[in-house]
Structure 1
């Protein structure tokens, strides 16, 4: 009987030991599982952090960058527009009062300069307060308009043609009848024609009527420093309005070469058309040679 109790006691202790052992193993397994889950959670968290850090690898990020650059460029263009200049007309003519109006558009507050290309000298300058400017010049020729701002500049060229008047108007201005004849002159207010223009015209008439010169030859003599030394504007006015028969002038010049210098026909024609000679056109020289012996 004592042995039976002793066996039961050992059995009970053995069972308690087994239960404790199983409980300890279960607790160990639970801790291991929690540790593994915690590690997985941290790993997932790290992966998520890496994905956020690599946002610059996403296509939408670079799309946003491109859009931002375009917007900044547009804002810059609006604050600093490109320098430009545009003429309403690139060719005009002096009116009866010897005025020629040139209108152009450009950026606000730009500075402008006008230079005579042929004379290589400044004519006028100023500042454009708005976006459009009209300037008035009083001479014919070829000019360059330059606008500038912030160390940038842009240029365009324009031409002012000389005043053209009728022959009767010019004849009226050349007589000695005083203001009455000038007042009656048609198409133009001849009171406004400068004296040197009238003088240049009279000189051109003499070169044509007495010396039988070509149009180019007359212009060269009028502007030559060794000749009459008129301004290019006055000389241009004179030859543009001179009512000359240049075919006949070429013929009279050819007769002079043949009769007084006994030149051959080929030499005469070369002399008539030479740039260093009489400067007649080919058609004018042809007319002269065709009528030389008639």
Structure 2
């Protein structure tokens, strides 16, 4: 299966250089192809990516259909289509074995959201002066993080990579590096600025910052960058603490940011720019508003109200 290794390696380079995808996205795309390679190896099928045909792909799709839900299958099929399109782009193949493979219909899942009261309750549940066994406090950091997640609508990966040099408080913006290393400026209010400055003056100032992390805003107790998993754990523990009966994650704050803006009259184009969505069709998922709000819009703006 050496030919697969070489082509996957070249494909990853293409995704990085030509398409400018993030490390996480590149790993996800290559993992989709690796699943197919594992399937072939387990069945002793020594066939190169240049010779594999639709029939074998169909067998693979049938196999994963017994293990994965439609959403996961759709993602893998999409990843394989991208890989074989790359081979065609490089003139390695004349056609793609994925051309007639249908993607499962999964519908569009509406994101979970939090009310402003629930967000306030989560943030109030943070023990600001709690000292851990190492004599350090993360309360101010956690409050600043959650405020930033919600008030700026960030992805968790954008939050943990946010740098001190990205803060332009005098201008009222922060610079965000999003998917595919695309940069955007997001407005940040004085309320959130205040909590970030409090964290910098208190918890962060007491840390011994490790080399290479001097410019990172949010640090763990060892003076290094936080992981996405750590932010997830902090939010889960706060949800359990207040008895919140919802499945939430850092991304829930981003969904709530967009939904609350929309409910208060912001236009989709502005929300798209702040979220860093490449296409406005992605932003349109936030049009899931309750009937009471839609009724209010109708009665306020329709000429026959």
For this structure pair, what is the TM-score category when the shorter chain's length is used for normalisation?
Answer: under 0.3
Structure with a larger share of its residues in strand = 1
Q: Which of the pair has more CA radius of gyration? A: 1
